[in-house]
Amino acid sequence: MKEKICKCIANTLGNLSEYEVMKLIEIPPEDKMGDFALPCFSFSKVLRKNPTIIAKELKGAMQEVQGELGIEKLEAVNGYLNIFMNRTKYIQYWIDKMKEPEFGIVKNGSGKTICMDYSSPNIAKNFHVGHLRTTVIGNSLYRIYEKLGYKVVRINYLGDWGTQFGKLIVAYKKWSDEATVKEKGIEELLRIYVKFNTESEKNPELVDEARQWFVKMEQNNEEAIEIWKWFKEISLLEFTRVYELLGVSFDSYDGESFYRDKVPSLVEELKNKGLLKESQGANIIDLSDYDMPPCLITKSDGGSIYHSRDIAAILYRKENYGFDKCLYVTGVEQSLHFKQVFKAIDVMGYDWADTLIHVPMA
C-alpha cells in the first residue's frame, strides 16, 4: 500500500521515482497527524514553489484516487502532506488474507517424510487422560507438519502385547463368559481386569497363571491367540469411538504385536555387530559408557520386550517409510526408555539416530 501511494505521489510530482518518495515518507509522532506524512520542503527548489503549496496541490491531485489507495483522508499542514489510512479497509484486507488456506505457510517440508508415533493406548487397559493428551498434541503436530508440506505418517503404536493379556485371559476364564463379553464389550473387560488385580493381591498364584497364559501367547498357542485377537478387537472398537469424537485418524495401527516377529533379526544384527551381552540369562545392550542402564533386548525366556520391539519398529519404519524424522509423543516418564532406544540405534552405527525425537509431555 505504501509503495502504491509513493508511486502515485511520484507520478503527480513528476521527475521523481517512487523510491525517492519512499525515503522521505515519515511516520508522524502523533496519531492526529496521520499514519504517514510526506514533508514537501525538499521539492520546493526544483518545483520553485512553496512547500505549503506543494502539499496542497498534492492533496488536490490525489483526491480522486485516494479511495483506491486505501486512504481515508489527506491533510496539507505546514508543508506536510498527512496521510490517514482507512483502517477498517486495511484490517479487512489482512483478515481476508488470513482466511486464505495457504496464508503464512512456508512449504519447507515438501519432499520430506515424518513418522509420528502418538496416542498409542494399551489394549485391554484404560484409555486415560495421558492418552488423550498425546492424541490431541500429536494430532496438532501432525496438522502443523502437514501444512508445512511434510508427508506425515500417523502411527498408532498400540500396546497390544504384554502380560496384561495373560491376566485378562485368566480373569475371563474365571469370572466371565463369551455371552457377557459379547454383550457388554469393553466394560466387561475392564471389570474383570480390575477384579484380577484385587484378587491377585490375596492370591498370588493367579499372577503365575497369567504369566503362563502369556507364555502360551508368545508360543502362538491357538486358543490364547484367538482370545487375544478378540479382546483386541473389542478394545479397538472403543478407541475408534473416542477417535471419531475427536476427529482424529491414523495411517497405521501397527502396534507392539506387529514387531514381535521382527525382534529375532534384530537380535542377529546385534550379535553380528558384537553389541549383544548376556546378563542373568537375558540379552542386553550395555549402555554404561553413556551413563544409562542396560537396554534389555530379550528376556531370559527369549521373548521380546518393550525396548526391543521399539528398536525393531524404528528399523522397520526407516526401511518402509524412509522417514527424515520420527517423533514420539508420550509422557515424560518414558524419557529414559527413548534415550536408551535411540542410543541403541546410534551404537548400531546408524548415523540418522539423531532424527529420532521424543516429545515428552510433563
**Min dist. Cβ of residue 158 to ligand ARG (A):** 7
The single-letter DSSP state of residue 25 is -
Residue tagged active-site, from 7, 49, 112, 125: 125
**Min dist. Cβ of residue 271 to ligand ARG (A):** 24
Residue tagged active-site, from 128, 229, 273, 277: 128
Does 131 qualify as catalytic in the annotation?
Answer: yes
**What is the distance between the alpha carbons of residues 73 and 140, in angstroms, rounded to a whole number?**
44
Is 157 an interacting residue with respect to ligand ARG (CB under 6 A)? yes
**Min dist. Cβ of residue 139 to ligand ARG (A):** 15
First-to-final CA distance of the chain: 46
Is 142 an interacting residue with respect to ligand ARG (CB under 6 A)? no
Closest CA to 221 of 278, 179, 166: 166
**What is the distance between the alpha carbons of residues 307 and 270, in angstroms, rounded to a whole number?**
14
**What is the distance between the alpha carbons of residues 236 and 242, in angstroms, rounded to a whole number?**
10
Residue 166, SS3 per DSSP:
helix
**Min dist. Cβ of residue 106 to ligand ARG (A):** 29
Query: Which CB, 120 or 200, lies closer to ligand ARG?
Result: 120
Is 323 an interacting residue with respect to ligand ARG (CB under 6 A)? no
Query: Which CB, 43 or 328, lies closer to ligand ARG?
Result: 328
Across the chain, where does the E strand assignment appear? 36-39, 71-77, 80-85, 113-117, 151-155, 276-279, 282-285, 295-298, 325-331, 356-361
Query: Which CB, 180 or 252, lies closer to ligand ARG?
Result: 252
Q: Cell 478394545 appears where?
A: 235
Sites for ligand ARG among residues 90-119 (CB under 6 A): 117
Does 337 qualify as catalytic in the annotation?
Answer: no
Sign of CA dihedral 99, 105, 111, 113: negative
Is 310 an interacting residue with respect to ligand ARG (CB under 6 A)? yes
Query: Which CB, 51 or 159, lies closer to ligand ARG?
Result: 159
Query: Which CB, 283 or 330, lies closer to ligand ARG?
Result: 330
DSSP 71-89: EEEEEEETTEEEEEE-HHH
Query: Which CB, 216 or 309, lies closer to ligand ARG?
Result: 309
The neighbouring-strand residues paired with 331 are: 361
For ligand ARG, how many residues bind (rule: CB under 6 A)?
9
- Relative to beta strand 151-155, strand 276-279 is unpaired
Sites for ligand ARG among residues 116-135 (CB under 6 A): 117, 120-122
**What is the distance between the alpha carbons of residues 22 and 19, in angstroms, rounded to a whole number?**
5
**Min dist. Cβ of residue 309 to ligand ARG (A):** 8
Q: Which of 159, 164, 307, 345 binds ligand ARG (CB under 6 A)?
A: 159
**Min dist. Cβ of residue 114 to ligand ARG (A):** 15
Does 125 qualify as catalytic in the annotation?
Answer: yes
Cα 198 to the center of its chain, rounded Å: 38
Q: Cell 489510512 appears where?
A: 85
C-alpha cell read off for 76: 496539507
Residue tagged active-site, from 59, 131, 216, 358: 131
Is 200 an interacting residue with respect to ligand ARG (CB under 6 A)? no
Cβ pair 288, 282 in contact under 8 A: no
Q: Applying CB under 6 A, which residues contact ligand ARG?
A: 117, 120-122, 157, 159, 310, 328, 330
Q: What are the residue numbers of the active site?
A: 125, 128, 131
